[in-house]
Amino acid sequence: MTKPDWTIRIIAAPPGEAPLWVRQQWVGLDLPVARYSAGGRFLGLGVLSMPRSWLGQWLSVFRGRAELIAGYTVEALPAFGILGAKSPEAAAWWHQNTPHLIAPKRYLLFHEEVCRIADI
């Protein structure tokens, strides 16, 4: 079931392809959940290694290169804004290295083990 007014708090550096210092800047931030499904499982691709086109992404999924991840998705643009208020340097890293995510309807996936629901 979708519940868009949930907020997650990042409680540990999330795994991923961004440098550790960038991932550590997410810790302590509250992010609005964009999507949540009953199982909370999503197919994820690396933010640096993912193909840039939708077709390429689907081919990656088809070829088994996507990872099934239990977690929460947040819309990238608002998340980068929240991150930028804490660490402009970390937000700048995302803008410089992942311009494909700086657009509406792009999402970041945070693993369940590095999150907790902030307000239920």
The one-letter code for the residue type at 86 is K
pLDDT of residue 45: 65
What is the number of structural domains in the chain?
1
pLDDT of residue 38: 37
Cα 43 from Cα 83, distance rounded (Å): 24
Residue 97 structural domain: 7-117
pLDDT of residue 1: 39
Task: Determine phi and psi for 12, rounding to 5 degrees.
Answer: -155, 160
pLDDT of residue 6: 84
> Does residue 1 belong to any structural domain of this protein?
no
Pick the closest to residue 79 from 101, 61, 99, 59 (CA basis): 101
> Does residue 2 belong to any structural domain of this protein?
no
pLDDT of residue 39: 46
Question: pTM of the full predicted structure?
Answer: 0.80
Regions of the chain with pLDDT less than 50: 1-3, 37-39
pLDDT of residue 55: 65
Q: How many CA atoms lie within 13 A of 36 on its CB side?
A: 14
